[in-house]
Amino acid sequence: MTTHTCPRCRFEFHDEDAELDARVAALEAECVDKGYPMASGRVSEENAAKLLGMAARTLAGKRNARPSTGPRAHHLTVNGSRWSYSLTELAAWEAAHQEKEDEL
């Protein structure tokens, strides 16, 4: 099993993790249902924020924080957005933050 540790947000996720795969599939299905454009498994910042249940400005603030407190953003265009987010990284970030909330 391959483990990825993101240097920016310091969370780990496993490439073969069934829960992560299920969450990515759920995010993809939600994008299709809501008509959110995707490119190479990425969505725009506005749509990523909607998927995470937060305002786009909140997600942008997390991206701009030093160190970043949000999921890793890509400076690649999706549907005209300057920033995009990988569905895999959104799912992993969401899971990592859910675990932190459960610990409190």
Q: For position 50, what pLDDT does the model report?
A: 97
**Per-residue pLDDT for 74 more than 70?**
yes
Q: For position 14, what pLDDT does the model report?
A: 54
Q: Between 93 and 14, whose confidence is greater? A: 93
Q: What is the mean pLDDT of the chain?
A: 84
Residues in contact with 34: Cβ distance below 8 Å, sequence separation at least 6, in sequence order? 47, 50
CB crowding 9-22: b at 16 or more within 10 Å, else e: bebebeeebeebee
Domain ranges, ordered by start, for the chain: 3-103
User: What angle do helix axes 87-103 and 18-34 make, rounded to 10 degrees?
Assistant: 120
Residue 24 contacts residue 71 (beta carbons within 8 Å): no
Percent of the chain with pLDDT over 70: 78
Q: For position 1, what pLDDT does the model report?
A: 37
pTM of the model: 0.79
For the segment 28-68, what is each residue's pLDDT rounded down to a tens digit?
999 999 999 999 999 999 999 999 999 999 999 999 999 98
**50, containing H or E segment:** helix 45-52
Q: For position 2, what pLDDT does the model report?
A: 42
**Per-residue pLDDT for 10 more than 80?**
no
